[in-house]
A and B are shown apart, each in its own frame.
Chain A
Amino acid sequence: MIQIESVTKRYPDGTTAVDDLSLDIPDGSITVLVGPSGCGKTTTLRMVNRMVEPTSGRILLDGSDITEQPVNALRRSMGYVIQNAGLFQHRTIVDNIATVPRMLGWDRRKARERARELMGRVGLDEALAKRYPYQLSGGQQQRVGVARALAADPPVLLMDEPFSAVDPIVRKSLQAELLRIQQELGKTIVFVTHDIDEAIRIGDMIAVMRTGGRLAQFAPPQELLSSPADEFVEDFLGTDRGIRRLSFFTSDGLALERGPVVAVDAGAEQVARATAAGAPYLLLTDADGKPLGWVAPQDAAGGADKVAVGSLLPYGRPFAAGRESLRDALDCAVLSPTGWAVAVDEQGAVAGVVSQEAIGAAIRSAHAGQREDGPAVPVRTTKAEVAT
Chain B
Amino acid sequence: MSGPGFFDIPSDLQNSYLGLVGLHVEEALIPVAIGLAVALPLGQLCVRFSWLYPPVLWITTVLYAIPSLAFFIFLIDYTGATRTTVMIPLTVYSLVLLVPAFVDGVRSVPQETLSAAKAMGFGPVQRYLKVQLPIAVPAIIAGLRVAVASSISLVSIGALIGNQGALGNLLQDAILYHRSNLALNSVLTTAVLAVLLDIALVLLRMALTPWMPRSGRAARRAARDAAVEPAGRAALEDASV
* Residues in A lying within 8 Å of B, measured CB to CB: 49, 51, 71-73, 75-76, 78, 80, 82-92, 99-100, 103, 123-125, 131-137, 139-140, 143, 145, 148, 158, 169-170, 172-177, 180, 201, 247, 324-325, 327-328, 382-383, 386-388
The one of A86, A99, A100, A123 in contact with B112, judged by C-beta atoms closer than 8 angstroms, is A86
Least CB distance, B139 to chain A, in whole angstroms: 13
Q: A80-B116, A134-B213 are in contact. List 10 more A-B contacts (CB 8 A).
A: A73-B121, A84-B110, A87-B113, A90-B211, A92-B211, A132-B210, A134-B222, A173-B232, A176-B236, A387-B235
State the CA gap A172–B239 with chains docked (Å).
6
Q: Which of B207-241 contact A (CB under 8 A)?
A: 209-213, 219, 222, 225-227, 229-236, 238-241
In the complex, the answer to whether A386 meets B222 with C-beta atoms within 8 Å is: no
Q: Output the least CB separation between A48 and chain B (Å).
A: 10
- How long is the Cα–Cα vector from A161 to B240 in the complex, in angstroms? 20
In the complex, which residue of chain A has the Cβ closest to the Cβ of B236?
A173
Tell me the dominant secondary structure on chain B's binding face: helix
Q: Report the bound CA distance from A148 to B123 in whole Å.
A: 18
Instruction: For A386, list chain B residues within 8 Å (CB).
Output: 238-241
Smallest distance from the beta carbon of A175 to chain B beta carbons, Å? 7
Given A75-B121, A173-B236, A90–B231 Cβ distance below 8 Å?
A: no
Interchain CB contact under 8 A, B121 and A76: yes
Q: Are the C-beta atoms of A90 and B134 separated by less than 8 Å?
A: yes
Q: How large is the interface on B (under 10, 10 to 19, 20 to 34, 35 or more residues)?
A: 35 or more
Q: How far is the CA of A158 from the CA of B121 in the complex (A)?
A: 14
B120 within 8 A of A: yes
- In this complex, the member of A51, A173, A180 whose beta carbon has the largest number of chain B beta carbons within 10 angstroms is A173
B121 near A72 (CB under 8 angstroms)?
yes
Chain A minimum-CB-distance residue to B209? A90
Are B116 and A90 neighbours in the complex by a CB distance under 8 Å?
no
Q: A51-B119, A90-B209, A132-B210 are in contact. Are A140 and B229 (CB under 8 A)?
A: yes
B16 contacts A by Cβ under 8 Å:
no
Cα(A176)–Cα(B234), bound, Å: 11
Q: How far is the CA of A222 from the CA of B137 in the complex (A)?
A: 52
Interface status of B131 (Cβ within 8 A of chain A): yes
In the complex the two chains form, is A91's CB within 8 Å of B211's CB?
yes
Shortest CB–CB separation between residue A24 and chain B, in angstroms?
A: 23
Cβ contacts under 8 Å, A325 to chain B: 241
**CB within 8 Å for A176 and B119 given contacts A86-B112, A87-B113:** no
Q: Which of B131, B209, B222, B229 contacts A88 (CB 8 A)?
A: B131
Q: Once the chains bind, are B211 and A80 in contact (CB under 8 Å)?
A: no
Measured CA separation A148–B106 after assembly (Å): 23
Collect the chain B residues with CB atoms within 8 Å of residue A86's CB. Answer: 110, 112-113, 115-116
From A51, A89, A90, A100, B118 is in contact (CB under 8 Å) with A51
Contact of B236 among A71, A75, A80, A172 (CB under 8 A): A172
Q: Does B87 contact A (CB under 8 A)?
A: no
CA distance A45 to B109 in the complex (A): 23
Task: Contact check, A135 vs B222: say whether CB atoms are below 8 A apart.
Answer: yes
**A388 surroundings in chain B (CB, below 8 A):** 238
What's the least CB distance linking B190 to chain A, in Å? Answer: 35
Q: How far is the CB of B237 from chain A (nearest CB, A)?
A: 9
- Hey, which chain B residues are within 8 Å of A87, CB to CB? 113, 116
Q: Which of B117, B225, B229, B238 has the most CB of A within 10 A?
A: B229
Q: How far is the CA of A169 from the CA of B209 in the complex (A)?
A: 33
Contact B225–A135 (Cβ < 8 Å): yes
Contact of B101 with A by CB under 8 A = no
Return chain A residues, CB-CB under 8 Å to B137.
90
